[in-house]
Amino acid sequence: MLLFDHVRLVDPASGLDRPGRLLVEGGRIADLDLPSDAAAPDGATVIDGGGAVLCPGLVDMRASVGEPGHEYRETVASAAEAAVSGGVTTIAVLPNTTPAIDDPALVRLLRARGEETAMVTVLPYGAVTQGCLGETLAELGLLREAGAVAFTDGARAIADTRLMRLALSYARGFNALVMQHPEDPSLAAGGAATEGELATRLGLPGIPAAAEEILVARDLILARLTGGALHFGHVSTAAALELIRQAKQDGLAVTCDTAPPYFDLNETAIGDFRSFAKLSPPLRPESDRLAVVAALADGTIDAIASDHMPRDADDKRLPFAQAASGGVGLATLLAVTLAQVHGGSLSLCAALDLLTARPARILGVEAGRLARGAPADLCLFDPERAWQVQAGRLAGRAQNTPFDGRALEGRVIATFKAGRRVFG
């Protein structure tokens, strides 16, 4: 039994934001309305929050782990350590592993690996196509029965229009969504940075920003045709966001997320060929970054995901054009998002909504809320505590952070899974 005292309770799902106390019993939330002068229940361990924020554990709806196949980059266990250091208690993991998560046994394996950590809930995505190769549909029904939370080919776009149509249609029958990496692969092939003046000046092969807009436009048409639920990951351009905004107004079952690099950094972050800032999609011009910030504020973007992509040092220690894309983000997800709160673009409740209740709702899982009977997956953090991101000193195995050297405000004090302290 735990009693959190002197905390600021913030629950975006209900709009709760007030000083209070919270009682945990049996791994679940037992009470949120204990009077301030009431004695602690017998046998309860009292945690004095000192005015810190107590919110639901974060729900990260887009992350990669190296397991199976690339354990030298990261394992489920090391990813869990990174996650809880950033207040994340639920992780939806992408299927583009080796082998790909296109077999029900692998879905069950990843769920079990998450349970073994006793730190996080792991929700595997099932591959849309066999091997995530974009050629033949995987057994979506069997993957769903085994516990796949949704379907995607992860970091690979589903390029074949007919396959994407079939995926949306079949997934609709299982009441599941299809998540797309919105980047036309034929336009992106061989590219390393967003096409434009900076890429030209650095001599880097460019990827036109239109590669994102084109695939978003196509898939919105397919969503209208099939009635399927469609989700776009890490949306990063103004043009794509405007298409999604209009589709929502038209009533389509479409959602999207973005990741912290796309609202906190712009393409100048690669200016000295910093391979840690080579991402997929690539960082964009400042005008697109501002469009992402606006879309967070107006509700066009439904969630913020870490886009965690662990890489080995040798994957990044290459000339920029040859270096692997991707950056880690679990440990910095909350703090970088809070920069939008400190900057006045989002309220604290709105920012946490994008990290908790809304992604949980999209995925259809029991997480992301403070309510009687809900799992006691909790994050206790000080929104004002300053720290600096330092690659090599983050929790977890992989250290390829695009935020290396970034000064941030907002530090996790402790993370709890089912009422058990797993960090801090």
Q: What is the pLDDT of residues 339-348, one digit of tens each?
A: 999 999 999 9
E strands, 269-344, where?
Answer: 303-304
Average pLDDT (260-268) is 98
Instruction: Of 329, 248, 263, 339, give the one whose Cα is nearest residue 296.
Output: 263
Q: Which of 80, 26, 89, 33 is nearest to 56 (CA)?
A: 89
Cα dist. 62→30, 145, 181, 199, 345 in Å? Answer: 30, 21, 11, 28, 23
What's the confidence (pLDDT) of residue 37? Answer: 82
- What is the pairing mode between strands 88-93 and 121-124? parallel
Q: pLDDT for 226-253, tens place per residue? A: 999 999 999 999 999 999 999 999 999 9
* Residues 131-188 pLDDT 10s: 999 999 999 999 999 999 999 999 999 999 999 999 999 999 999 999 999 999 999 9
**Residue 39 clears pLDDT 90, i.e. is over it:** no
Rg (CA), the chain: 21
- CB contact at 8 A, 381 and 334: yes
Handedness of CA 258, 182, 266, 245 (dihedral sign): negative
| Residue showing tokens 């393409």 | 267
Res. 38: pLDDT tops 90: no
Catalytic residue chosen out of the listed positions 60, 307, 315, 377: 307
Task: Assign 392 a pLDDT band (cuts: 50, 70, 90).
Answer: very high
Contacts of 215 (CB under 8 A, 6+ apart): 157, 180, 182, 183, 184
Supply the DSSP string of 354-410, one letter for each residue.
HHTHHHHHHHT-S-S---TTSB--EEEEEEEEEEE--TTSSSSS----TTTT-EEEE
pTM for this entry: 0.96
Q: Which domains does the chain have, with CATH numbers?
A: 2-53+375-386+409-423 (2.30.40.10), 56-363 (3.20.20.140)
Question: How many Å apart are CA 323 and CA 5, to the nearest integer?
Answer: 48
- What's the pLDDT tens digit per position in 355-389? 999 999 999 999 999 999 999 999 999 999 999 99
- Residue 293 is given by DSSP the state H
Provide the sign of the torsion angle of the four alpha carbons 112, 58, 84, 376, taken in this order: negative
Residue 34: the pLDDT is 86
pLDDT at position 97 is 95
Q: Say how far apart CA 276 and CA 281 lie, in whole Å.
A: 13
Cβ neighbours around 393 below 10 Å, total: 9
Helix, strand, or coil (residue 57): coil
- The confidence band for 40, taking pLDDT boundaries of 50, 70 and 90, is confident
Q: What angle do CA 290, 57, 180 make, to 5 degrees?
A: 50
Say how far apart CA 247 and CA 254 lie, in whole Å.
7
Beta bridge partners of 152: 127, 179
Non-local (6+) Cβ contacts of 112 within 8 A are none
pLDDT in the model for residue 401:
97
- Nearest of 62, 12, 329, 310 to residue 177 by alpha carbon: 62
pLDDT of residue 5: 96
The b-or-e profile of 78-105 (16+ CB within 10 A means b, else e) is bbbbbbbbbbbbbbbbbbbbeebbbbbe
- E runs forming strands in 291-377: 303-304
Our answer to whether residue 307 is catalytic in this structure is yes
Check pLDDT > 90 for residue 277: yes
* The amino acid at 58: L
**What is the arithmetic mean of pLDDT over 79-102?**
97
Please identify which residue in the block is written with the tokens 């996790």: 412
**pLDDT cut 70: percent of the chain above it:** 100
Cα–Cα distance, 185 to 159 (Å, whole number):
7
pLDDT of the residue at 35: 87
Rounded Cα distance, 83 and 90, in Å: 8
- How big is the chain, counted in residues? 424
- What is the per-residue pLDDT for 36? 82
